[in-house]
């Protein structure tokens, strides 16, 4: 089923208005373009009515003015690598990929000011010449753009040390649904700047009051996890407001295009580490994984990634030189201090306490390091291309649990797949407690589709109640997890999120169906038979 919602205005009038706003060469409404933009890297499909290419704030404003006047929804889009269906929508897709300049680099303050359409890889190439980098590094680092990373509060391989995108955003410029421009940074709520802001955007004071009125419930909704991409960061906002400061940029990070469109970002950058050391460890016993990780974490790794044994068996063990007996792989990296000494200490400890499938491999030079990363990086591309009708669909792919419970959690995930007559890819950022889980199913087969529904229900219940985790550590809520969002934070706190949305976008024009929707997770899965899951 291909979802297509039409607004009150007819397609021809919408196209003419957009063409007047940004020029006919920047508007596409043809079938092929609408199809192309009907998908992102999730299994969801929603066909837009038009795509508008923008390369300035004036363009964005002009497209938003049209959408507001004609009551047509608008979805900001960067590279469209969203794994949760957040970069597609039923109205106008605002393609920001041409809006990608680096505006200013301030080496003293370690800040870089950029337009949101810049590729992370392009930004990091520019920064590398200056000895710096933007720290969050998703697996999609060659593809994704800053606007999308902010939209999803992305993180990745090194979030165990460097955190999420939110931790590296100093300020944003935002255009709200009604066309108001907001300079989003930390604003003391007892000062003139706040008074001026709420004079222009009344919704902001409403949001502050909502958070204050529900402070207790927000505090009680805390889950013992290190990160999440599950809606607005109400806990962070509330804690900062306790000290009289509204961290406005933080409100928009992770909002998945539902609160406003980012038109500029000021990002904090960090120096490229002088040295890195990478360790590859294969464990013969899965039960050693938890204790080994427990031994390594206090030594301050900059990355610690795991792949479970069943998943290693989905790869070509021989080609990738994975030991036949390995039941888990651990990839560890250190980038601070005397990295060689730290690595040797870890190897001694692990080798003397756990049964390694073969001697630990340690690499200090970049070429050898990228070889050690090869197995970890191969998992996703390999499992999604596995032949057969059953594919590694992403509908439960991003859980996060307290990190000391990850081995128990992986055991649960393996068993969950087996009980639903399938196998699964299990890998991820174990140092954070963030696992990627991709069971193989064929949703066009009614029996499998039933299994998927039952697995999803059991999964949500276990992640939320038994493990006190959350369904997304980094990929976002999007369309796939919107129905689960109330269960993550509880009805009262979810109500606060909804009222924040209403305060800034009362007509629901910004990315409808994303974050807030009661639709089942599969409601927009379209054209399944022809899709390769990402």
Single out the residue of 233, 333, 474, 505 in contact with ligand FAD (rule: CB under 6 A).
Answer: 474
Nearer to ligand FAD, 83 or 292 (CB): 83
Cβ-based nearer residue to ligand FAD, 139 or 512: 139
- Compute the distance between CA of residue 388 and CA of residue 228 in angstroms, rounded to an integer: 33
Residue 385 or 445 with smaller CB distance to ligand FAD: 385
Q: What is the DSSP letter of 524?
A: T
Residues in the chain: 534
Distance CA 186, CA 55 (A): 27
439 lies in the binding site for ligand FAD (CB under 6 A): no
Listed in sequence order, the residues at least 6 apart from 484 whose beta carbon sits closer than 8 Å to its beta carbon are 460, 464, 471, 477, 521
* Count of other CB atoms within 10 angstroms of residue 318: 8
Footprint of ligand FAD on 509-528 (CB under 6 A): 511, 514
Q: Are 440 and 395 in contact (CB under 8 A)?
A: no
Between 140 and 302, name the residue whose CB sits nearer to ligand FAD.
140
154 binds ligand FAD (CB under 6 A): yes
How far, in Å, CA of 211 to CA of 78, rounded?
30
Strand partners, 436: 427
Residue 482 lies near ligand FAD (rule: CB under 6 A): no
How many other C-beta atoms are found inside a 10 Å radius of the C-beta of residue 196? 11
* Burial of 373 per CB tally in 10 Å (0-12, 13-18, 19+): middle
The full DSSP string for 94-140 is EE-TT---EEEEETTTTEEEE-TT-BHHHHHHHHHTTTEE-----TT
**Measured distance CA(186)–CA(208) in Å, rounded:** 13
Q: Choose which of 21, 46, 135, 144 interacts with ligand FAD (CB under 6 A).
A: 144
| Among 151, 254, 399, 471, contact with ligand FAD (rule: CB under 6 A) | 151
* Helices and strands of the chain, counted as H and E runs: 20, 20
The nearest distance, CB 247 to ligand FAD, in angstroms, is: 17
Binding marks (x or -) toward ligand FAD, 296..335, rule CB under 6 A? ----------------------------------------
Which is nearer to ligand FAD, 356 or 428 (by Cβ)?
Answer: 428
**Angle 469-473-479 from CA coordinates, rounded to 5°:** 100
Comparison of 309 and 476: residue with beta carbon closer to ligand FAD: 476
- Between 81 and 124, name the residue whose CB sits nearer to ligand FAD: 81
Neighbouring residues of 103: CB distance < 8 A, sequence distance ≥ 6: 113, 114, 115, 264
Closest CA to 278 of 335, 363, 221, 375: 363
Q: Which stretch binds ligand FAD (CB under 6 A): 31-39, 70-78, 315-323, 438-446?
A: 70-78
Question: By C-alpha distance, which of 115, 125, 154 is closest to 137?
Answer: 154
- Shortest distance, position 116 Cβ to ligand FAD, whole Å: 4
- How many residues make contact with ligand FAD (CB under 6 A)? 38
HEC-encoded secondary structure of 327-395: CEEEEEEECCCCHHHHHHHHHHHHHHHCCECCCCEEECCHHHHHHHHHHHHHHHHHHHCCCCCCEECCC
- Closest to 54 (Cα-Cα) out of 182, 184, 181, 175: 175
Provide the minimum distance between the beta carbon of 318 and ligand FAD in the complex, in angstroms, as a whole number.
Answer: 25
- Report the alpha-carbon distance of residue 338 to residue 363 in Å, rounded: 14
Residue 163 or 345 with smaller CB distance to ligand FAD: 163
Residues from 372 through 401 that contact ligand FAD (CB under 6 A): 380
Strand, coil or helix: 467: coil
Question: Nearer Cβ to ligand FAD, position 149 or 307?
Answer: 149
Q: CB 485 → ligand FAD: shortest distance, Å?
A: 14
**Mask: binding to ligand FAD, 454-473, rule CB under 6 A, as x and -?**
--------------------
CB of 442 to ligand FAD, least distance (A): 21
263 - beta bridge partners?
none
Output the smallest distance, CB 72 to ligand FAD, in A: 15
Q: Is 257 in the site for ligand FAD (CB under 6 A)?
A: yes
For ligand FAD, give the closer residue by CB, 72 or 245: 72
- Quick check: 177 binds ligand FAD (CB under 6 A)? no
Decide whether 288 or 333 has the Cβ nearer to ligand FAD.
333
Collapsing DSSP states into helix, strand and coil, what is residue 167?
Answer: helix
261 touches ligand FAD (CB under 6 A): yes
Binding to ligand FAD, residues 210-239 (CB under 6 A) = none
Q: Is 290 in the site for ligand FAD (CB under 6 A)?
A: no
Mask 76-115, x = binds ligand FAD (CB under 6 A)? xxxxxxxx--xx--------x-------------------
Considering the complex, what minimum distance in angstroms separates the CB of residue 483 from ligand FAD? 17
Q: Is 149 near ligand FAD (CB under 6 A)? A: yes
- Residue with smaller CB distance to ligand FAD, 122 or 284: 122
**Interface residue with ligand FAD, options 155, 221, 357, 435 (CB under 6 A):** 155
Q: Which of 116, 231, 254, 309 binds ligand FAD (CB under 6 A)?
A: 116
Q: How far apart, in whole angstroms, are the C-alpha atoms of residue 8 and residue 257?
A: 22
Q: Which stretch binds ligand FAD (CB under 6 A): 12-20, 146-154, 267-275, 347-355?
A: 146-154
Shorter beta-carbon distance to ligand FAD: residue 182 or 245: 182
Residues of this chain that interact with ligand FAD (CB under 6 A) are 40-41, 75-83, 86-87, 96, 116, 138-140, 144-145, 147-149, 151-152, 154-156, 256-257, 261-262, 380, 474-475, 511, 514, 534
């Amino acid at each position: 089923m291909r979802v297509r919602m039409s607004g009150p205005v007819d397609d021809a009038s919408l196209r003419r208005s957009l063409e007047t706003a940004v020029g006919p060469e920047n508007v596409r409404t043809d079938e092929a373009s609408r199809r192309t933009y009907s998908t992102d890297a999730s299994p969801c499909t929603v066909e837009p009515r038009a795509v508008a290419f923008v390369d300035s704030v004036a363009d964005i404003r002009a497209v938003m003015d049209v959408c507001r006047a004609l009551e047509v929804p608008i979805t900001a889009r960067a590279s469209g690598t969203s794994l949760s269906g957040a970069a597609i929508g039923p109205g106008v897709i605002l393609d920001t990929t041409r809006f990608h300049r680096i505006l200013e680099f301030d080496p003293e303050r370690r800040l870089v000011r950029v337009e949101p359409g810049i590729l992370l890889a392009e930004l990091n190439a520019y920064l590398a010449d200056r000895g710096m980098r933007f720290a969050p590094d998703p697996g999609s680092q060659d593809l994704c753009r800053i606007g999308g990373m902010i939209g999803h509060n992305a993180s990745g391989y090194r979030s165990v040390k460097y955190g999420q995108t939110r931790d590296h955003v100093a300020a944003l410029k935002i255009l709200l649904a009604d066309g108001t421009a907001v300079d989003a940074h930390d604003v003391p709520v007892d000062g003139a700047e706040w008074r001026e802001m709420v004079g222009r955007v009344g919704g902001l004071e409403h949001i502050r009051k909502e958070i204050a009125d529900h402070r207790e419930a927000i505090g009680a909704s805390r889950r013992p996890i290190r990160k999440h991409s599950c809606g607005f960061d109400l806990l962070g906002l509330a804690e900062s407001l306790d000290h009289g400061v509204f961290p406005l940029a933080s409100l928009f990070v992770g909002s998945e295009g539902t609160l406003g469109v980012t038109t500029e970002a000021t990002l904090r950058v960090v120096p490229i580490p002088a040295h890195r050391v990478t360790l590859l460890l294969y464990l013969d016993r899965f039960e050693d994984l938890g204790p080994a990780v427990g031994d390594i974490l206090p030594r301050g790794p900059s990355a610690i990634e795991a792949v479970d044994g069943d998943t290693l068996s989905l790869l070509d063990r021989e080609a990738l030189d994975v030991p036949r007996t390995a039941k888990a792989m651990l990839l560890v990296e250190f980038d601070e201090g005397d990295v060689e000494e730290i690595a040797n200490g870890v190897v001694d400890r692990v080798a003397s306490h756990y049964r390694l499938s073969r001697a630990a491999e340690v690499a200090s030079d970049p070429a050898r390091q990228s070889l050690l990363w090869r197995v970890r990086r191969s998992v996703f591309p390999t499992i999604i291309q596995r032949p057969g009708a059953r594919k590694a669909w992403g509908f439960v792919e991003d859980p996060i649990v307290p990190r000391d419970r990850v081995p128990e959690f992986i055991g649960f995930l393996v068993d969950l797949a087996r009980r639903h007559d399938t196998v699964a890819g299990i890998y991820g950022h174990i140092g954070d407690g963030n696992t990627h889980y991709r069971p193989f199913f064929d949703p066009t087969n009614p029996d499998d589709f039933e299994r998927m529904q039952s697995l999803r229900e059991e999964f949500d219940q276990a992640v939320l109640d038994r493990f006190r985790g959350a369904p997304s550590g980094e990929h976002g809520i999007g369309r796939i997890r919107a129905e689960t969002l109330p269960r993550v934070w509880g009805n009262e706190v979810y109500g606060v999120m909804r009222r924040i949305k209403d305060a800034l976008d009362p007509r629901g024009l910004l990315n409808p169906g994303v974050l807030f929707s009661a639709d089942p997770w599969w409601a927009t899965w379209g054209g399944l038979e022809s899709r390769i899951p990402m």
